Structures are given as structure tokens and as C-alpha cells.
Amino acid sequence: MDSTARHILDLSRRGLLRGAGGLAALAALAPAARPGFAQPVFRSFPFTLGVASGEPAPDGFVIWTRLAPEPLVPDGGMVRAAMPVAWEVAEDQRFVRIAATGTAMARPELAHAVHVEVAGLPPGRPFFYRFRVGTEVSATGRTRTAPAPGAGMDRLRFAFAGCQHYEHGHFTAWRHIAAEPDLDFVFHYGDYIYEYRGRVPGQPGWGPLVRPHLGEEIIALADYRQRYAQYRLDPDLRAAHAAHPFLPSYDDHEVDNNWAGDVSEEDGRGRFPITVPPEVFALRKAAAFQAWYEHMPVRRSAMPRGPDITAYRRMDFGTMARVHVLDTRQFRDDQPCNDGVKAACAEVARADAQMLGTAQEAWLLGGLTDSPARWNILAQQVPMMRRVLGSGIAMDKWDAYPAARQRLLDGMAERRTPNPVVLSGDVHVALAATLRQRPEDAGSAPVATEFTATSITSAGDGSESSPSAEDTLRRNPDIALHHARRGYCVAEATDARMTTEFVALPFVTQEGAPRQTAARFVVEAGRAGPQRA
């Protein structure tokens, strides 16, 4: 068992054995939530889950932490009382040149998470931040503001990644992302956690068992909180959050595998003959969205209201790029043809098919109409490219919603959207593809480019090539890359081109994998489609 797993299991054992005693000892902290009382003293370091930043704007960003001295026990080992947390933002790592300070309340209703929306800072600058409660000081994080509106940039550099099944391997890729220089942001496309029950050695299940999940399949808010804490205890993931600002989104496993709109995976079809009614599934969504919000460096506008959340948003990075962060789960129709990978049934052809929902689709097309940017990045979850597989199409991807995809491709073509680039993930392979206005017509005009990042760990070590990869490339001439090692992508945009590097790790079932380049592609401004670099 690796050191991280031992640490987590030790925390769990200690928490379970002395949970009640720990809470009693921490009861003395309750007065600290009221002005005029003594500063709290913790039995254990309260910033065990690290720090994070996100949502860069020209004048600020979000900084995040969560008080959790015993992160794997109920309430993180905290008493159920609000507690003030001081924060600082500085121009230097030694915190000599302080740029902003304040106090935020860590509230038990939000798992003692803190989201500070820092504002009033100069644009296009790096900053350092940290938190303090009592005598305890958090780790230091590094972040940056976005360029001023309308400002030019020499380059925009960002990474994108996701699908990090804890049981399937080590988060070494996040350590490499932490070391990537000068990233303006990291887009996390989703599957930050997996909801499945923990396995024991020898127990069958999907993928390798490298380090175990704690607990059963997660359903209640306390379950989701514990699962996020287990993932955030990983030092490589914490390092990446501390090193760069994130633009987080979610896919299916933050809630339930292949959920769609108000429909659970357990919809009474296929493998799950027992139906979870929408009103019951709404309770699970509410718990999942709250825990996602509590652990992500996002703005208050993303705070859920029960089973509803507004997570789609856009950010401009000067005149270089406009980033549209999309939600391809909450507003979509249920997967047609009982889900799975199979030949298309009549339901696939429905003209009113929804992937984004009418409101988000209109919002996106509006943002593509008036975009001032050289590059328009659609940061979303599942592949948009046409991907014909040996047994048909994947009903969970855009292929099963062709009318919705067509409306979007037509909208980009009609608006002459400058240089659209789609980011995606979910399928645990690296892909690079051309998106044509008529995806089924090889002679149709290219409209956009798509890059799909492989998984951080999901599905284990993987491989460079396989018969299925060769078959996918043969059936889909617009797909230029199919690579199934684990890793992530790093992109750099200039006025002339966007270069995307597909970073691969030779293994994740052991620690210490080196950083390797699987492929590199260039998109020339004004010419859709990836070209090998």
C-alpha cells in the first residue's frame, strides 16, 4: 500500500476511534465564532485539504480553503459553529507586499469551506495567497488575474484534464501539472470524484484497485463530503490546486454515472430494472451539487439551490480568448436507445434533441456572436466529434444528439465565430479531431477543432495503441489522434496559432511516472482542424 493510502486509512481509523472525543475536545472552539472571544486552538492542523484558486477576472479571483482537522470524519472534525478565517493576498511569496486582506466566515452549513471573491487588484499579474485561523497558517497558493478587457496578450497558456478515479492509480499527472510553468488556468472538465463504493483486494470491479475508496456508493451529503476529502488529501492534487487557478466543471460521476437531466442511471432500463424516481434522484443531486460547490474555487453564483445549479459561465482573457465553460449534464435529454454503445435507433433522429438545454444554448450562441476574442474555447465534457465505433455510436456523447450538435455547428458557421476550439474528456483516451459543419459529410467545410484529454487515472495504465484505436481511426477520418495512456493536455495560444501538447504517463498504477509527450498538434488561426506539429 502506498504512503498516501496508508495516511488516509490512518486518518480514517483515528477519526472513527476517537470521533466523539475529538468533537468534544473541539467544542472549546465554538466561542471563537463570536467577536471578543479567544482565538481557537486546534488539536490537529485544520488546513488538511489545502488551498485553491479559480475564476480569474481582470481585477481578482476566487480563493478557497476548508477547515477540516479530521477530514474523513463527520463535519471534518469541526464543531457545528461558524468560525472567522483571515486571508491575505500578496504580490510576493514572503507576504511583504500585501495587496488585499480580509476575514471570511467558515460556516458548518457549507462544511466550513471558505470562498473569497477577491477584487480590486491590477490585471494580468501573479499573486500569492494564504489563510489563517488562530495560530494556524495554511499552505501558500499562487494564482493570477486575467488581462484587462480589450488588452492584448503575447500568449495564453492553459492545461485541461479530468477523470481521476482514485482507485485506479496515483495522481502523478497532477504533480506534473503543478510543475507546468506559467499556466493562466487549468480547466477541469469533470469526474473529479467517482461515486462508486470502495473495493477490497480481490473484489471484482471496473479497472485496477491501486488504493481503495472509503465507504459505500455515495448518496448523502456526508458521503460526498468524505469522498471529496479523500481525493483532496492526495498531495499531488493539492499541489496542482495551489500552483494554478482552476476553471472547474463537472460531468457525471460527481453525481451518478451517466445521469442526464432529472434522470438517474437507475432509470428502470437496461442493467437497472429498479427505477429511482426523479423526485428521489433530485435529493441526491442536491447533495452532490452542494459538495461540489463546497470543494471547488467557484463564485457564489454557482451555489446550488437544491437540485439546481448554474455552473455554465464565460471568461475573457483580453482579446486572446473567450472561454465558455459549459454544462452538458444538467439540461440534456435522457440518453436515447437505452444508453450504451449501439446502432442508432429512431430516437436519435429527434429534431428537438437537447444537450445544453434551450437557455444555455441561446446563451452560448449569443456569446459566440459578439466575441471579441481571437480564440473561442468551448470548455465542456463529452466528445462533440463524430465518432463511429465498431458497434455503433456512444449514446452518452454528442453523437446521440445530432440535432443539438447541428444547431451549434450551424450557429458557429453562420456567425463566423473566430477560431472555435472544443475541449472535452470523459472517454479516457486522447483525441484530436476536425469538426465539420455536416459531421457525416467528409466534404463539408471544417468549422472547429476538438481536443479530448485522456484521463488522469481512470481505466489504469492504458496503452499507446490497440485494435480498437486502429478501428476508430479507420472509421473516422476526421479523428487525427487516438492515444490511451493517462495524462492531460497543455495548450498555448498566440494570435497566429494554438499548439496543444498531449502529455502522457507510461503508468499510474505505480508512483513516479515521468512526463512524456504523446503528440503535439497545431491549429492555425483561420483554419479549423488539427495539424501534427
pLDDT tens string 369-406:
989 999 999 999 999 999 999 989 999 999 999 999 99
Structural domain spans, the chain: 3-144, 160-532
pTM: 0.93
In this predicted structure, the answer to whether residue 138 has a pLDDT above a threshold of 50 is yes
Name the band, by pLDDT with cuts 50, 70 and 90, for residue 126: very high
Q: What is the dihedral of CA 452, 453, 458, 462, to 10 degrees?
A: 90
What kind of architecture, by CATH, is found in domain 3-144? Sandwich (2.60)
Name the band, by pLDDT with cuts 50, 70 and 90, for residue 76: very high
User: Rounded to 5 degrees, what are φ and ψ at 94?
Assistant: -90, -5
Name the band, by pLDDT with cuts 50, 70 and 90, for residue 39: confident
Read off the pLDDT of each residue in 337-357 and give the average, rounded to a whole number.
97
The DSSP code for 255 is T
Structure confidence at residue 121 (pLDDT): 98
In this predicted structure, the answer to whether residue 10 has a pLDDT above a threshold of 90 is no
Contact 504, 456 (CB under 8 A): no
Read off the pLDDT of each residue in 4-27 and give the average, rounded to a whole number.
38
Read off the pLDDT of each residue in 40-54 and give the average, rounded to a whole number.
94
Structure confidence at residue 269 (pLDDT): 64
**Distance, CA of 318 to CA of 341 (rounded, Å):** 41
pLDDT tens sequence across 493-512: 999 999 999 999 999 999 99
Task: Enter the C-alpha cell of residue 47.
Answer: 488546513
**Distance, CA of 368 to CA of 115 (rounded, Å):** 30
Read off the pLDDT of each residue in 35-64 and give the average, rounded to a whole number.
89
CATH code of 160-532, in short, is 3.60.21.70
Share of the chain above pLDDT 90, in %: 88
> What is the residue-averaged pLDDT of the chain?
92
Structure confidence at residue 19 (pLDDT): 35
Read off the pLDDT of each residue in 145-158 and give the average, rounded to a whole number.
97
Structure confidence at residue 465 (pLDDT): 82
**Distance, CA of 70 to CA of 512 (rounded, Å):** 28
pLDDT tens sequence across 216-246: 999 999 999 999 999 999 999 999 999 999 9
**Distance, CA of 108 to CA of 115 (rounded, Å):** 13
Angle at 194 between CA 157 and CA 161, to 5 degrees: 10
Name the band, by pLDDT with cuts 50, 70 and 90, for residue 278: very high
**Distance, CA of 409 to CA of 388 (rounded, Å):** 18
Structure confidence at residue 38 (pLDDT): 54
Contact 193, 231 (CB under 8 A): yes
Share of the chain above pLDDT 70, in %: 92
In this predicted structure, the answer to whether residue 94 has a pLDDT above a threshold of 90 is yes
Most confident of 26-40, 42-56, 263-277: 42-56
Structure confidence at residue 270 (pLDDT): 57
